[in-house]
């Protein structure tokens, strides 16, 4: 079964989670599964849902027996990749659950992403206690800081050995999770008994087999504020255009959800849907028509949209992710030039709130979501599960093999699905601009 979870061995210790304030703990079993496809077709042949051929995921949650002795366990936490709302919530949730519920007293925070696991780089780990993280959820960013890029796997595992770390929690996106998988593989190659547990972080919400990633709801809620500012600017001048560039290298989820939440966007441009600039079906003519009718327009563009329209070499960041060419300023200049050439007055305001969005504290919904993810990650780690990530699927929390998820590439907006259809309906933009 491709979703089978690796375990370090036999669980010989009773869980300390006997009850919570007099309420009995609902211990879960490894045999409990959540189906990938939750839709039942009554006209289809009956399928044996217990079959290995039916894709399903192991249910997350506390186990009655655990692998690690809490009194002798040392845990480590590392945050990797670009900033996202919720990093500090995850850190607080991990520390609180490890310390207060399981009684783990040695918890290290490795600073500056995977660099913190390379001793020669000189980033001294910090000791994390519940009292030291009690208020960090109201701060943006990560108290451990972060970084991008690969580091020597052997040296990182050496550090885990030197510091006697039993469980490593990796909080990061696709590239960071691949790094976590490689760490788990090196640990296994050496015959070590260490668990590696990932918590998926991608502000673009583009990881497969999870309902959403933490920080996403905060991100599109903050994006709505930028769109409303752009709308005010567009309405405040003759032939006003508000152009907002949002995150989304390969996937347009933030742009779509923000446009739906705002309700006043005229054009949404995402990487999944190519568009032309010129011609009677192109964006520029569609925009001219919109302004002639409304006297204003608001455009939301994801950073990865329209890449085929621009010249220049592709660049990559330190993690190997494609760095999109700057579509926002490209569109700004093209739109301005188009109307100037036709001697039509235009007042365009360009807004790029990306780094402001990334650095804000998580909102209330993400606060709660992060706590669930952190708690389930600790349950998994203490039970000796390794090479996994925790996520939510069909509102249930599950364990997923890291390699199974990252091997699927990026999750993208289904241009034939409900989300994109809803965007087209609320914007009224042409289904095709090519």
Q: Which sign, positive or negative, has the C-alpha torsion 156, 159, 163, 164? A: positive
d(CA 178, CA 8): 19
d(CA 228, CA 247): 17
Q: What angle do CA 185, 187, 192 make, to 5 degrees?
A: 140
pLDDT for res 43:
79
Pick among 1.10.10.10, 3.40.50.460, 3.30.470.10, 3.40.190.80: CATH of 217-357+415-427: 3.40.50.460
pLDDT for res 143:
96
Q: Widest CA span of the chain, in angstroms?
A: 79
Tokens 């390794």 correspond to what residue? 386
d(CA 297, CA 291): 6
Residue whose C-alpha is closest to residue 194's, from 29, 94, 75: 75
Residues involved in catalysis = 204
pLDDT for res 434:
87
Secondary-structure percent of the chain, ordered helix, strand, coil, rounded to 5: 35, 20, 45
- 239 touches 253 (CB < 8 A): no
pLDDT for res 24:
84
- 234 touches 349 (CB < 8 A): yes
Token couple for 149: 């890029």
What are the sequence ranges of the domains in the chain?
6-213+360-406, 217-357+415-427
pLDDT for res 408:
85
- Write out residues in the chain with pLDDT < 70, as ranges: 19-22, 46-52, 312-322
pLDDT for res 46:
65
Token couple for 217: 């709801």
pLDDT for res 38:
83
For the purposes of burial, counting CB atoms within 10 Å of the CB of 225, is it exposed (0-12), middle (13-18) or buried (19 or more)? middle
Pick among 3.40.50.450, 3.10.150.10, 3.50.30.30, 3.40.630.30: CATH of 6-213+360-406: 3.40.50.450
d(CA 199, CA 73): 20
pTM beyond 0.85 = yes
């Amino acid at each position: 079964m491709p979703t089978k979870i690796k375990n370090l061995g036999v669980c010989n210790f009773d869980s300390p989670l006997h009850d919570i304030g007099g309420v009995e703990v609902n211990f879960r079993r490894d045999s409990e599964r959540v189906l990938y496809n939750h839709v039942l077709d009554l006209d289809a042949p009956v399928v044996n849902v217990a079959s290995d051929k039916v894709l399903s995921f192991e249910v997350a949650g506390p186990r009655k027996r655990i692998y690690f002795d809490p009194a002798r366990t040392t845990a480590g936490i590392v945050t990797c990749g670009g900033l996202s709302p919720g990093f500090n919530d995850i850190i607080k949730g991990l520390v609180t659950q490890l310390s207060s519920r399981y009684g783990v007293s040695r918890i290290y925070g490795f600073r500056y992403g995977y660099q913190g696991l390379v001793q020669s780089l000189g980033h001294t780990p910090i000791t994390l206690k519940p009292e030291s993280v009690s208020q960090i959820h109201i701060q943006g960013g990560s108290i451990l800081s972060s970084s991008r890029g690969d580091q020597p796997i052997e040296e990182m595992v050496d550090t885990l050995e030197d510091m006697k770390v039993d469980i490593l929690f990796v909080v990061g996106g696709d590239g960071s999770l691949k790094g976590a998988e490689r760490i788990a593989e090196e640990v296994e190659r050496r015959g070590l008994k260490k668990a590696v547990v990932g918590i998926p972080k991608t502000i673009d919400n583009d990881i497969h087999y999870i309902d959403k990633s933490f920080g996403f709801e905060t991100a599109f809620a903050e994006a709505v504020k930028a769109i409303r500012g752009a709308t005010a600017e567009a309405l405040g001048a003759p032939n006003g255009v508000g152009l907002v560039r949002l995150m989304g290298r390969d996937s347009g989820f933030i742009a779509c959800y923000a446009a739906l939440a705002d309700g006043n966007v005229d054009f949404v441009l995402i990487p999944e849907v190519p568009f032309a600039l010129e011609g009677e079906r192109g964006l520029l003519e569609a925009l001219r028509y919109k302004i002639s009718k409304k006297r204003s327009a608001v455009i939301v563009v994801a950073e990865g949209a329209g890449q085929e329209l621009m010249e220049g070499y592709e660049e990559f960041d330190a993690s190997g992710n494609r760095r999109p060419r700057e579509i926002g300023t490209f569109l700004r200049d093209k739109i301005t030039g188009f109307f100037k050439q036709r001697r039509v007055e235009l007042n365009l305001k360009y807004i790029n709130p990306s780094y402001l969005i990334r650095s804000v504290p998580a909102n209330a919904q993400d606060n709660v979501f992060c706590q669930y993810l952190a708690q389930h990650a600790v349950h998994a780690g203490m039970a000796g599960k390794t090479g996994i990530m925790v996520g939510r699927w069909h509102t249930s929390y599950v364990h997923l093999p890291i390699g199974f998820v990252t091997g699927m590439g990026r999750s993208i907006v289904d241009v034939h699905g409900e989300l994109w259809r809803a965007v087209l309906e609320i914007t009224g933009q042409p289904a095709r601009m090519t």
